[in-house]
A and B are shown apart, each in its own frame.
Chain A
Amino acid sequence: MSEKTGSVLVVGGGIAGVQTSLDLAESGFKVYLVERKPSIGGVMAQLDKTFPTNDCSMCILSPKLVEAARHPMISMLTLSEVMAVEGEAGNFTVTLKKHPRYVREDRCVGCGLCAEKCPSKVSSEYEVGMSQRKAIYVPYAQAVPMKYAIDADRCLWLTKQRCGNCKKVCPADAIDYEQKEVIEKLNVGAVVLTPGFQVFDATRKREYGYGDFKNVVTSLEFERILSATGPYQGHVVRPSDHKTPKKVAFIQCVGSRDEKVGNPYCSSVCCMYALKQAIIAQEHTHGLEPTIFFMDIRAFGKEFEDYRARAENEYGIKMYRGSRVASVDENPESKDLTLRFSSGASEVSSADFDLVVLSVGLEAPASAKELSDRLGIKLNEFGFCHTGVYTPLETSRKGIYVSGAFSSPKDIPTTVAEASGAASKAGAHVFMNRISIDDVIKDVPEDDVKGQEPRIGAFICDCGINIKGTVDVPSVVEYVKTLPNVVYAEENKYTCSADTQELIKKKIKEHKLNRVVVASCTPRTHEALFQSTIKEAGLNMFLFEMANIRDQCSWIHMNEPEKATAKAKDLVRMAVAKSRFLEPLSKSRLGVTPSAIVVGGGLAGLTAALDMAQQDFHVDLVERTGELGGRLNKLFTPEEGKSPKDYIKGLIAQVKASDKITLMMNSEIEDVAGFVGNYKVKVKTPEGTKELDTGAIVVAVGSEEYVPKEYMYGQDKNVVTMNELEDKLAHGHFSSKKVVMVQCVGSRNKEAPYCSRVCCSKALKNAIEIKKKHPETEVYILHKDIRSYGFREALYRQAGELGVKFVRFDEGKDPVLGKVGEHFEVIVEDTVLGSPLLLRPDLVVLSTGTRPNPDNEHLAKLLKVPLSKDGFFLEAHMKLRPNDFATNGVFLAGIAHWPKFIDETIAQASGAAARAMTIISKEFLETQGIIAAVNDDVCDGCGVCEPVCEYRAITIVGTGVPDKLKAVINEGLCMGCGTCVAACPSGALEQKGFKTSQILAQIDAALEGGAK
C-alpha cells in the first residue's frame, strides 16, 4: 500500500459529511464518503424549512447531495460502516464493511417498479413511522443515490424464500439476492467523523404521554407533518382524526437540560426550530394558535432574536415562560390534551390543546460508542465526541477529526462552518499528495463542428415501462425521424444504462452526429451523465439537449396515453428545435494565484492564516493595529485550564515563526480589483502602498466591544466591564464582597436588538471563578434569559450550585443603579418574586455586548460584499454557506460574521481557510459554460445591465471611441443566471446555452403552426 496517500475518509453522509467531502474534493483530495444508510442526506433531508430564513430544506440540500454523488473525486460508499482504523495520521488503514444492498447499483435505474410490486410493508424511517415504505425502497423521493435497497429483515425472499416479485418485475435485472457482506481496506491520510445525532426518545418522558396519546408528536414528526412531501402532504392535521388543530402547544426542553433523563446539556437548536414550526404551522393553517412553553428562549444566532420578535409580534405566537411543563393528559373521547404547568411561585395551572409537539433534544448518535471503540477516540461525559475549546475539530486521536452534531448539539450553519474546518484540518495530513482534476478526468480531443449543418441524433427512452407504459415510444421515434436535421433516432430500454452510453458514442461516430437529444427523465439528474458521454465521443458537451418525457409527461398524464404521446412528441420537437441552434461552448481556464490575504490578526485571522500556511500556501496577513491577537488579549479567565490570553500568545508565536506568512502590521486594505483566483489588492502600510496578487481573501476583522454609556461606567471605578473583571481576577486585584453582574448591556435593546451570544456564558464562567477563589463573595447575575447553550449549560448548573444568585428582569425593565453615599444601590424588578429587589453591591460588572466595526462598511464596499442589517458581514447563504460571500473567492470568519465563542471562531476560521484553499489549490479555475456574453457591435453601453447583476460581473467601460461605452462581462464572476440578458434593451447580451434564438426556437416549436 502506498505511503503517499492523498485520500481522506469521511464517516457520515449528512450535511456535515457532504460539506467536508466537497471541500476536500475541491481541494484536490480523493474522498471516501461512508454512510451506513442506503442514501445520504441525514436529518436535514427530513426537515421542511430551516430557520431563520424559512428556506425549503430539500431545495438547498439536494444540489449539494447531487454534487457530492457526481464528483469525480468522491467515492460514495453507502450501506457501509467503519470496522477499524489502524496506523497513524498520514497513513491510516481503514477496514470497511459493506452491507449487501441486494440491488446492483450499476444496473438499478430507480424506476420503482419493484417497490410497487413488493408486498411487504415497513414503517418508514424517513417519515418517522408516520407512513409506510416497502421492503425494497429508497428512503425518500429525492434520495441520493437513487438506487433501491432491500431491507433484508423484511424481505419475504430473503427471510422465507417466498415472493421474489422484485426480481420478476425489475426490467433492468438489478436484483441480486445473492449479494454478501464485503470487507474492504482503504488507505487514507486522515479521517473526519460526521455521524450526526439522534433525537431524544420521547417515550422516556412518561408524563407527556408520547406513544400513548396519538396527538402528542415529536418535533421531528411535526417537521414531516409540515412538509409538502410528508404523510399529510403538508396539511397540518392531528394524527388521531386528521382534523385541523386550532390550539397547538410546543413543550421545550424534552430530553434537554434534564438531569433526570441523563441529558443535563442544552440542545441549542430547539428554541429556534419550535419558533419556526409555530410560524410555518400558522402560515399553513390560518387561525392556528401556537403556544410555546419554555424556560429560556435561546435565540443567540445571527438574526435569531429578530425571528423571535417576529414570531411573537407579527405572528402572535404565545410564549409561556415558566418551569418545565409537569404533565400532559388525554381526554379519552376527544383525544384533546390537557397540560399542567406551574404559574407564578406555587400555583398550578392547566390548559387544553388539540395537538402537542414535544421539542425533543439532540443526543449523541447510536453509533457513538461503537465509533469510539473501533477508532480509539474519546467520548465526553454526555456521550458526544470529546473536543476542546481550543481544538474544536480534533478528536483525541491524531489525524481523526470531527464536525457537526457529533461533537455537540448545533445548528446547520455552525455544522457547515465546522465541516469546512475539518476539511482544512484533514487536508494538512495529505496536502503533499494533491491530485489535479486533469489526472482524474481524461479529456478527449473535441471535433470541430463549426459551420457544419446540424446532424441530430435522438435517443428516446422507455425507462422500462415508466415512459413506455403511457407514451407510445415507437411512434415518438418515428415522428422524430421526420423532423428536419434529425439523421438518427432510436428507442432505448434505458438510455441511462452503461451499455447505452457505449451505444450513443458508437452512433455519434457512425452517423457523424453533431447534436444529441435524449428524451427521458430530468436534466437535473441526468444531463451531466449524457454530457460526459458525448464528450467522450469527441463532441462538445454543450451540443446536448434533453426532453423530459418521464417526470413531466408520462408520470403526470398516466391515464391519457394519447395526449401524453402527443405531448412527448412536442417536447422532443422543442428539444430538437433548440438543439439546432446549439453551439459548442468552451469553459475558459483562468490561472490562479496560489496565495491568500487574511484581513485581521485576531483569533480568526491567525487561525485561518496558519491553516493555509500548514498546507504550504503563502499568506499575507493584514492587521490594522500594531498588535496581533485581537480581543483574546483581554480574556484572562482560564477555559479548560488555559487562559485565552495564553492561547493567543502561542498562536502569535506560531504565526511569527512561519515562513509562509507575511505580516503587514498597521496596514489597511486600500483597493481591491480582479476576481476569484486573481485578485489585485492594494495595502496601505507604514512603508507605503503595496500591491499584492492573491487568489482568495479571508475577512476576519472581528468586532468591537460596546463601551457602556449607562450604569455610571467610566464615572465610578467600581463599575467595570466583564473583561475588566477578568483582568482583576487574574491579577489579584479582586477583593469585592458582593458583586452584581448586569447582562445585556448594549445587547437586546433598541440600539442593538440582537443577542451578543457569549455574554451569558462568560458571566457564568467568571461568577464561578469568583466563587472558587473567593467563596464568601456573593454574586448576583441580573439577566433576561440565561443563554448558556450546548454543554455550557453545565456552567449554569455549576454556578447555581456554588450559590450564584440569578435574578430575571423583563425586556424594557433594565435594573437601575444609584449611589447612596459610598454605596451602590441596584434596584431590579424580579419577575419571579414579582416585586422590586434592592441590592447593595461593592462591585458592578457589566456584560457588554458586541458591536460591528464601524468601518465594516468601507471594507465591504472595497470587497463588494454586503453587510447584514445589524452591520455584521453578510454571508452568501445564512444556512449552507456560513464561510462564503456571494462574491467568489472572498470568505468570512469569526466575529466579523457574528458574535461567537473561541471554539466556534476557530472552527469557522479553519472553515474559511478550507474554502479559500478550494480556490488557491487549483492550477486554474474553469468558467461556467453557460455565461453571459456581449455582442460589441450592438452594445451601446447604456448600463442597464450593470446594476442588475447580483455578482457584479458586468462593468461598463470605454471603447476608445469618445462617448462610446460598452459592457464587459467578467467570465470569472458570471454565474450564468441570464438576468442581465433579459434586461438588455438592445439585444446585445446573450446567455450561452440559453440564447434568445434557442429559447425562441423552443417557443415556436411548442406552439408549432403559429396563430390558428
Chain B
Amino acid sequence: MSSQQMAQAEPKPAEAGQFEPRILVFCCNWCSYAGADLAGVSRLQMPTNFRVIRTMCSARVDPEFVLRAFASGADGVLVLGCHPADCHYIGGNYRTRRRIALLRVLLEQYGFNPDRLKLEWVSASEGQKFQKTIKEFDAMIRDIGVNPINEE
C-alpha cells in the first residue's frame, strides 16, 4: 500500500472544541516499543494524542507512575508489554498483569473509572495491533470523558 492509500484510511481529525483526550502509553523495550516502531515502519495511521514512555520491561511501571499521570491530568494510561511467556525478562509481564489488576481496583476506590487504565500485550510483530489498541483506547477514553481532575 502506498503512503497515500494509507492516508485515506486514517481517522478524521477531531473537530474543534471537542474533548481531546491526553493518553500516556508505557511500552516495554523488547516487544511493545518494537511493535509501535513497526506500526511506523508500516505507516499505520492513528490518533496523535498519545505519548510513549519506554521502559525496559512493563514490570518497571511503578503504580506511582500511573497515579502521577492521572494526578497530572492524563485521561487514560495504557501499559503495553510482551505476550504471556514472551517476556524478555522471563516473567516480568506476569507481575505487570497482577499489578495493573490491583491498580484498577485502587482507581475505582478513588472514584476513577478503572477503564482509564488498560493493560494490553503487543508483540514486536504486531504493528497492526498497536494501531488498533491506540484507536480503541482513544475511542473508549472519548466515551468515558475527561479526567475529573481536569474538570475542576
Mark A residues whose CB is within 8 Å of B. Answer: 48, 53-60, 62-63, 116, 141-142, 227-229, 233-234, 522-524, 548, 550-553, 555-560, 563-564, 566-567, 570-571, 574, 886, 930, 948, 950-951, 975-979, 981-983, 991, 994, 996, 999-1000, 1002-1004, 1006-1007, 1009-1012
Using known A-B contacts A552-B52, A558-B6, determine if residue A1006 contacts B24 with beta carbons closer than 8 Å: yes
> Is there contact, CB below 8 Å, between B48 and A229?
no
Cβ of B62 < 8 Å from any Cβ of A?
A: yes
> Is there contact, CB below 8 Å, between A53 and B59?
no
Closest chain A CB from B85 CB (angstroms): 6
> Is there contact, CB below 8 Å, between A58 and B90?
no
Using known A-B contacts A1003-B68, A1007-B73, A1011-B149, determine if residue A979 contacts B48 with beta carbons closer than 8 Å: no
> Is there contact, CB below 8 Å, between A999 and B65?
yes
> Is there contact, CB below 8 Å, between A979 and B40?
no
Which chain A residues border B95 with CB–CB below 8 Å? 948, 979, 982-983
Which chain B residues border A551 with CB–CB below 8 Å? 36-37, 39-41
> Is there contact, CB below 8 Å, between A996 and B36?
no
Closest chain B CB from A983 CB (angstroms): 7
Closest chain B CB from A864 CB (angstroms): 13
Which chain A residues border B44 with CB–CB below 8 Å? 556
Using known A-B contacts A56-B86, A227-B125, determine if residue A556 contacts B40 with beta carbons closer than 8 Å: yes
> Is there contact, CB below 8 Å, between A522 and B37?
yes
Q: Quick one: closest A residue to B14, CB to CB?
A: A563
Using known A-B contacts A58-B125, A950-B90, A950-B92, determine if residue A1009 contacts B73 with beta carbons closer than 8 Å: yes
> Is there contact, CB below 8 Å, between A555 and B10?
no
Using known A-B contacts A56-B86, A1007-B69, determine if residue A142 contacts B38 with beta carbons closer than 8 Å: yes
Using known A-B contacts A228-B127, A994-B60, A1011-B73, determine if residue A886 contacts B2 with beta carbons closer than 8 Å: no
> Is there contact, CB below 8 Å, between A1002 and B53?
yes
Closest chain A CB from B33 CB (angstroms): 7
A977→B29 CA distance, assembly (Å)? 10
Cβ of B7 < 8 Å from any Cβ of A?
A: yes
> Is there contact, CB below 8 Å, between B40 and A552?
yes
Which chain B residues border A982 with CB–CB below 8 Å? 59-63, 95, 99
> Is there contact, CB below 8 Å, between B89 and A975?
yes
> Is there contact, CB below 8 Å, between A56 and B125?
yes
> Is there contact, CB below 8 Å, between A552 and B36?
yes
> Is there contact, CB below 8 Å, between B40 and A58?
no
> Is there contact, CB below 8 Å, between A978 and B60?
yes
Which chain B residues border A1007 with CB–CB below 8 Å? 22, 24, 69, 72-74
Closest chain A CB from B129 CB (angstroms): 7
A570→B74 CA distance, assembly (Å)? 14
A948→B127 CA distance, assembly (Å)? 30
> Is there contact, CB below 8 Å, between B48 and A567?
yes
Which chain A residues border B57 with CB–CB below 8 Å? 977-979
Q: Which of A553, A886, A1004, A1012 is most buried by chain B, counting CB atoms within 10 A of its CB?
A: A1012
> Is there contact, CB below 8 Å, between B123 and A56?
yes
Which chain A residues border B38 with CB–CB below 8 Å? 141-142, 229
| Total residue contacts A-B, CB cutoff 8 A | 186
Which chain B residues border A556 with CB–CB below 8 Å? 39-40, 43-46, 131
Using known A-B contacts A982-B59, A982-B63, determine if residue A228 contacts B128 with beta carbons closer than 8 Å: yes
Which chain A residues border B37 with CB–CB below 8 Å? 522, 524, 548, 551-552
> Is there contact, CB below 8 Å, between B55 and A999?
yes
Q: Quick one: closest A residue to B6, CB to CB?
A: A558
> Is there contact, CB below 8 Å, between B124 and A62?
yes
Which chain B residues border A229 with CB–CB below 8 Å? 38, 42, 125, 127
Q: Quick one: closest B residue to A54, CB to CB?
A: B85
Closest chain A CB from B120 CB (angstroms): 15
Q: Quick one: closest B residue to A558, CB to CB?
A: B7
Closest chain A CB from B66 CB (angstroms): 9
> Is there contact, CB below 8 Å, between B30 and A63?
yes
Q: Mark B4-19, 1 if CB is under 8 A from A, else 0.
A: 0011001001000000
Q: Quick one: closest B residue to A554, CB to CB?
A: B40
Q: Looking at the complex, which one of A553, A566, A979 makes contact with B59 (CB distance below 8 Å)?
A: A979
> Is there contact, CB below 8 Å, between B150 and A59?
no
Which chain B residues border A563 with CB–CB below 8 Å? 13, 48
> Is there contact, CB below 8 Å, between B150 and A55?
no
Using known A-B contacts A59-B86, A229-B125, A950-B92, determine if residue A996 contacts B56 with beta carbons closer than 8 Å: no
Which chain B residues border A233 with CB–CB below 8 Å? 128
Which chain B residues border A550 with CB–CB below 8 Å? 40
Q: Which of B13, B56, B86, B150 is most buried by chain A, counting CB atoms within 10 A of its CB?
A: B56
Closest chain A CB from B43 CB (angstroms): 6
Cβ of B54 < 8 Å from any Cβ of A?
A: yes
8 shortest A-B CB distances, which residue pairs? A978-B60, A551-B40, A977-B89, A555-B40, A979-B59, A59-B124, A977-B57, A950-B90
Cβ of B144 < 8 Å from any Cβ of A?
A: no
Using known A-B contacts A59-B34, A228-B125, determine if residue A558 contacts B51 with beta carbons closer than 8 Å: no
Which chain A residues border B143 with CB–CB below 8 Å? none
Cβ of B140 < 8 Å from any Cβ of A?
A: no
> Is there contact, CB below 8 Å, between B39 and A56?
no
Which chain A residues border B131 with CB–CB below 8 Å? 556
Using known A-B contacts A522-B37, A551-B41, A556-B44, determine if residue A950 contacts B89 with beta carbons closer than 8 Å: yes
Which chain B residues border A999 with CB–CB below 8 Å? 53, 55, 62, 65
Which chain A residues border B69 with CB–CB below 8 Å? 1003, 1006-1007
Query: Which of chain B's residues 56-114 have a Cβ closer than 8 Å to chain A?
Result: 56-57, 59-65, 68-69, 71-74, 82-83, 85-86, 88-92, 95, 99
Q: Quick one: closest B residue to A980, CB to CB?
A: B59
Cβ of B115 < 8 Å from any Cβ of A?
A: no
What are 25 residue pairs bridging A and B, where the CB atoms are less than 8 Å apart in the complex? A55-B86, A58-B124, A59-B31, A62-B124, A116-B3, A141-B41, A228-B128, A229-B127, A234-B128, A524-B33, A524-B34, A553-B40, A555-B41, A570-B51, A571-B51, A948-B95, A950-B91, A976-B56, A977-B59, A977-B60, A979-B92, A982-B60, A1011-B72, A1011-B73, A1011-B149
> Is there contact, CB below 8 Å, between A1003 and B24?
yes
> Is there contact, CB below 8 Å, between A1011 and B7?
no
Closest chain A CB from B93 CB (angstroms): 10
Which chain B residues border A228 with CB–CB below 8 Å? 125-129
A976→B40 CA distance, assembly (Å)? 27
Q: Which of A560, A567, A886, A951 is most buried by chain B, counting CB atoms within 10 A of its CB?
A: A560
> Is there contact, CB below 8 Å, between B125 and A59?
yes
Which chain A residues border B59 with CB–CB below 8 Å? 977-979, 982
A948→B2 CA distance, assembly (Å)? 47
Which chain A residues border B85 with CB–CB below 8 Å? 53-55
Which chain A residues border B99 with CB–CB below 8 Å? 982
Which chain B residues border A57 with CB–CB below 8 Å? 125
Closest chain B CB from A998 CB (angstroms): 10
A982→B92 CA distance, assembly (Å)? 11
A523→B28 CA distance, assembly (Å)? 12
> Is there contact, CB below 8 Å, between A1011 and B152?
yes
Using known A-B contacts A977-B92, A999-B55, A1007-B69, determine if residue A558 contacts B30 with beta carbons closer than 8 Å: no
A522→B152 CA distance, assembly (Å)? 38
Which chain A residues border B127 with CB–CB below 8 Å? 228-229
Closest chain B CB from A96 CB (angstroms): 31
Which chain A residues border B29 with CB–CB below 8 Å? 524
A996→B46 CA distance, assembly (Å)? 29
Which chain B residues border A948 with CB–CB below 8 Å? 95
> Is there contact, CB below 8 Å, between B73 and A1012?
yes
A951→B24 CA distance, assembly (Å)? 30
Which chain A residues border B36 with CB–CB below 8 Å? 551-552
A62→B51 CA distance, assembly (Å)? 25
Which chain B residues border A567 with CB–CB below 8 Å? 48, 51
Which chain A residues border B126 with CB–CB below 8 Å? 56, 228
Using known A-B contacts A234-B128, A1003-B65, determine if residue A1011 contacts B92 with beta carbons closer than 8 Å: no
Closest chain A CB from B72 CB (angstroms): 4
Q: Quick one: closest A residue to B150, CB to CB?
A: A1012
Q: Mark B123-152, 1 if CB is under 8 A from A, else 0.
A: 111111101000000000000000101101
Which chain B residues border A54 with CB–CB below 8 Å? 85
> Is there contact, CB below 8 Å, between B13 and A996?
no
A937→B147 CA distance, assembly (Å)? 37
